[in-house]
Structure 1
Amino acid sequence: MLRLDELRDCLLRRACTQDTRDAVWAHLVSASRAEGAVWTLGCVGVALPALIRASAALTSRFVGDTADIEAAVLAGFIAELAQIDCSRMQIMVRLRWAAYRAGHAAVREALDTPLPGGTTPSSSPPPRPWGHPDIVLARAVADEVITPDEAHLIGATRLERIPLTEVAEHSGVSYEAIKKKRQRAEHKLVDYLRDDNDAGHDDETTARTASPAQSTPAGRRRCADGLSRTCGESGVQKCGARPALPSPAPALKEDTPCD
Structure 2
Amino acid sequence: MQPTATPLQRIAAAFDHHAGDPHLTVPGTDLEGLPDRPVGLDELRSLLTGDTRPSETSNRASDPVWIYLVEQARTEPLWVTICAGLALPGLRNATRRVSWIAPPWTEHADIEASCLEGFTKGLAAADTGKPHLARRLCQQGYIAARHYARELNRYAKSLVSIAFESHPPTAPAGHMDFVLADAVRHEIITTEEADLIGATRIDGQRLTAYAADHGLTRPTADHRRRAAESRLARWLTGTTEGVDPTESATT
> Which structure is richer in relative contact order (CA contacts within 8 A, separation 6 or more)?
1
Query: TM-score range, shorter-chain basis?
Result: 0.3 to 0.5
TM-score, normalised to structure 2, is 0.47
TM-score, normalised to structure 1, is 0.46
